[in-house]
Structure 1
Amino acid sequence: MSISNHDLPAGLLNWLETLGKGQLSRLERHVARREAWVVDVTAADGSVLEGFLRLDRQPVAGSNVSLRREAGVCRALMQTAIPVPALLGWNEAHHAALFSRVPGSADLPGVADEAQQRKVMEDFIDIIARLHRLDPDDLALDDLLGPRPGNAAEAALGDLDAQLQQFAGFLADYEDPLLSYGVDWLRRFVPQSVARVSLVQGDTGPVNFMFEDDRVTAVVDWEWGHWGDPMEDLGNICVREFWNPSGGLQGLFRRYETESGIPYTRASARYYRIQQNVRGMIPIHAACAQPGLRESMAWYLCYRYVGDRSTCEALADAMGIALERPQFPDTESGPSSTLLRAAATSLQRDVLPDVQTPFARSRLDDARVLVDCAEREHRFGEAIRAANAADIARLLGQQPTDYARAKTRLLDAMKERRIADEPLLQYLARKAWRDEWLYQPAASLYPERNWSALD
């Protein structure tokens, strides 16, 4: 990408050159879910500041997840033994942070063999153990992160409640049975005790750290950082290892317990992987409802539908329920859309070969995925909705109706607690499997994802 070909806010490039005491010599959009840019600033003496620019174009005042939080946490951790990118500068006017570029790769599943994956994951779990042993008083982050939780319930539910508050406007008109059930389940089964309150990353695990050879070079992505139960990060690791298989989890949490001195239980990891999924699905569902999203809609659809299915499986595992998969429509039964198929073919055959930059190619491929999803929705959407409506009718002992009215009746029954956990979860899982099947072009961006076994 040419340095002149960008849509960054006016004045931001001057700020970068001031930080680097030179001239901007490289500016490339990074291919990632959240907006980021690779930046080089070359000084008069030939030295180069190699930076990684993160930008939050629509910051939400008081949000519990923010780039400002990420920058502040990294600034504090730079003074500790926890490897993080150096914060080179924070621009309050543009809500932009410039970090040092860290050597190594984040793609542990893609570039490392099984033996290397294990060594890297062991080094990573040792770092998380050290993180949780840090004295919160020494970090001086209370002004940024807010009050520390006073008990296990506050530790488990504080971040969830903050998400619900932040997205209250969206959720007021968007009632999803699985999100509603997940929130209710987290409140009913909240942990009864917490060993200590620590700084937790809140979204930690594979792909959110960089590595070289057998060692972690930096833990990245601290926008969820907060005070909490250390077991939350173990649940986070389960979730991220689900999405980015890295050799499994066998023995890692027992190693963590030895290194940190903080007791580990399987029940805690099970609870917090559900907590991470439910609170993480709230903004993902919201993103999927935004037609003008600046980020990749294709990836968000993948996170939503694979994530919904994995949430059901985690809930079932925690409650000892064996889920039953549904049948799917015959792939030959739905009428194909000539216009949508033509659009997908034109994007792939006529446009993609002439697109040069990695970012533009990735977005063009995203568009092809969205067209493929729309084509499947055209062919099978009505059959999927009819199957879900029929399931709800059987669940409630009522006559079948259309899906919109069936969902309203289901939500009413859930609010009145008229449905037991097992039959309700069986329905939610069948719906999640159907949705994942329907949006297979997006779901296949992360194919065949399954939970790793816990000790």
Structure 2
Amino acid sequence: MAEEFNHDLPDGMTAWIAEVGGGRITRLERHIARREAWVVDVTRPDDSVAEYFLRLDREGDGSGTHSVKHEAKVQAALAESGLKVPAIHAWNDNLQAALHERVPGRADLDNADPGEQATVFEDFVQQLALLHSLDPDSLGLDHMVIPTTSAECALGEIEFVEQFLAGMVVDPLYTFSLQWLKNHVPEPLDRVCLLQGDTGPANFMFDQGRVSAIVDWEWAHFGDPMEDLGNICAREFYCPSTPEDGLGPVFRRYEELSGFPVHLDSVRYYRVQQFVRSIVSLARITEINDPQMPNAMNRAYRYICERATCEALADAMGVELERPELPEVEMAPSLEGVIAANLRDEVRPAVAGDFARHRLEHAGLLVECLDRRARMGPQLALIELDEIAAFTGKRAGTLEDGLMDLDRTVKAGGADREEEMLRYLARRAWRLEHLWKPVVDLFPGRTFSRID
């Protein structure tokens, strides 16, 4: 019976799952992920167990792309392709929920031994080459637009994220990077194919040295295959899992398997695009402060990705960045520190369940960040206001006003100061990463691998 489990799923969800599975729910656990998902087992009268992975949209209506419904359509279309994707066992329009096959394996390739990393990556590249070889017209994905030009490939997703951001956040980094993407569309376009749109380590499962399933298809769309290679760069940044010589051998193997050249300038462009898509999405999510979301993890991703966006831009532009001095303040005993210590040392040991402990640990990190922001924030704001004034010609009274002034300056153009602007935006990104250090340390020391 579903009532045996502690959950907040929408009414009717557990009854639907039990009906689809033909039995009773015997396992129902919230999965630790950035997008809501649940691990579900249904035991049938003959004692066989149906193992599912539940994905749902609480707010969505499934009418557009980047939704759970879109993801389910893509996976269903790929079922006969030979690509390793989880089967979709059932879809519920009213609940906007999909029951996926639960595939064996793990996703943390960065924690595998080097030998297994190499064999898994080889298998993944074969899967990616197969994906990119599929004829777009044969997949039956009529709800998706098939672009025909380089600009349509490069900017289709950017138009979506701009709409996603509208009215939520004013940030000169976002304005600068979106303008850069529009002004530097890569020219070579050998072909258009189906892309996973967010592909690479942690978005595929592996087991015994092989890919067991490619997962997370909500960003799937048609476009330039170089975009997926840029996505690999971005995801490998978080899940380093290639040899010391970097991603170059991976891309050369892709060329051999696909029969098409890898354009490294396009890969660099799409690496920027992936991070820009990430920071815009994360900005909106972190401004909402939805308690259903993994807020500490999203803050960590946001500020690490902002710094990575600057570094990816610098590499694409041929600009050298200089890391700023990062101020420290004395972290004397505080009420926030007391709360964080209570949660960590007294409450956590008494909490059962991986998801609940995960939430509790991250809540403590957020409290530490609030303490750090209260102590260090004013000092950093003074630094930002001084540096912003060098571009705008006036010193704003508040950091919020200063950022709005700088955003207007970026929108007004000034290509002659583009490199100088990027250097400032990178310094600001490093300072924000430093300010939010307790959550950023969930993913310490993230750097790019070589791509040539």
Does the pair score TM above 0.5? yes
**Do the aligned residues in 2 keep the contact of 1:337 with 1:378 (CA within 8 Å)?**
no
Match of 1:56 in 2: 57
Give the secondary-structure state (helix, strand or coil) at the position aligned to 1:223: coil
Match of 2:281 in 1: 283
How many Å apart are 1:46 and its aligned residue?
Answer: 1.3
**Do the aligned residues in 1 keep the contact of 2:278 with 2:302 (CA within 8 Å)?**
no
**Do the aligned residues in 2 keep the contact of 1:323 with 1:426 (CA within 8 Å)?**
yes
Task: Name the CA distance, whole Å, in 2 between partners of 1:29 and 1:120.
Answer: 27
Give the secondary-structure state (helix, strand or coil) at the position aligned to 1:142: coil
**Do the aligned residues in 1 keep the contact of 2:18 with 2:25 (CA within 8 Å)?**
yes
- Indicate whether 1:265 and 2:263 are aligned: yes
How many Å apart are 1:134 and its aligned residue?
Answer: 0.5
Match of 2:420 in 1: 423
Match of 1:150 in 2: 148
Task: Name the CA distance, whole Å, in 2 between partners of 1:166 and 1:328.
Answer: 32
Match of 1:44, as an amino acid?
P
- Indicate whether 1:77 and 2:78 are aligned: yes
String of CA shifts for 1:46-79, please: whole Å, max 9, x gaps.
1111111111101166443110111011101111
Give the secondary-structure state (helix, strand or coil) at the position aligned to 1:52: strand
Equivalent residues in 2 for 1:131-146 (5 A)?
A: 131-143=131-143, 145=144
- Indicate whether 1:165 and 2:166 are aligned: no
| CA RMSD of superposed structures (Å) | 1.6
Gaps of 5+ in 2: none
Match of 1:223, as an amino acid?
E
Match of 1:21 in 2: 22
Match of 1:109 in 2: 110
**Do the aligned residues in 2 keep the contact of 1:336 with 1:378 (CA within 8 Å)?**
no
Give the secondary-structure state (helix, strand or coil) at the position aligned to 2:213: strand
| Partner of residue 430 from structure 2, selected from 426, 429, 433 | 433
Task: Name the CA distance, whole Å, in 2 between partners of 1:336 and 1:289.
Answer: 29
**Do the aligned residues in 2 keep the contact of 1:77 with 1:84 (CA within 8 Å)?**
yes
Task: Name the CA distance, whole Å, in 2 between partners of 1:192 and 1:293.
Answer: 43
**Do the aligned residues in 1 keep the contact of 2:395 with 2:402 (CA within 8 Å)?**
no
Once the two structures are aligned, what percentage of the paired residues are identical?
A: 46
Give the secondary-structure state (helix, strand or coil) at the position aligned to 1:412: helix
String of CA shifts for 1:383-416, please: whole Å, max 9, x gaps.
1111111111223454575423322221222121
**Do the aligned residues in 2 keep the contact of 1:369 with 1:441 (CA within 8 Å)?**
yes
How many Å apart are 1:124 and its aligned residue?
Answer: 0.3
Match of 1:76, as an amino acid?
A
Task: Name the CA distance, whole Å, in 2 between partners of 1:207 and 1:414.
Answer: 35
Shift in CA distance, 202/77, structure 1 to aligned 2, threshold 3 Å: same
Match of 2:442 in 1: 445
Gaps of 5+ in 1: none
Match of 2:199, as an amino acid?
T
Task: Name the CA distance, whole Å, in 1 between partners of 2:92 and 2:201.
Answer: 29
Shift in CA distance, 400/24, structure 1 to aligned 2, threshold 3 Å: closer
- Indicate whether 1:366 and 2:367 are aligned: no
**Do the aligned residues in 2 keep the contact of 1:177 with 1:411 (CA within 8 Å)?**
yes
Task: Tell me the TM-score normalised to structure 1 length.
Answer: 0.95
Give the secondary-structure state (helix, strand or coil) at the position aligned to 1:218: strand
Equivalent residues in 2 for 1:22-421 (5 A)?
A: 22-59=23-60, 62-110=63-111, 112-143=112-143, 145=144, 147-170=145-168, 174-247=169-242, 248-332=246-330, 336=332, 338-399=334-395, 401-418=397-414, 420-421=417-418
String of CA shifts for 1:330-386, please: whole Å, max 9, x gaps.
333xx6461111111111111100000000000000100100100110110011111
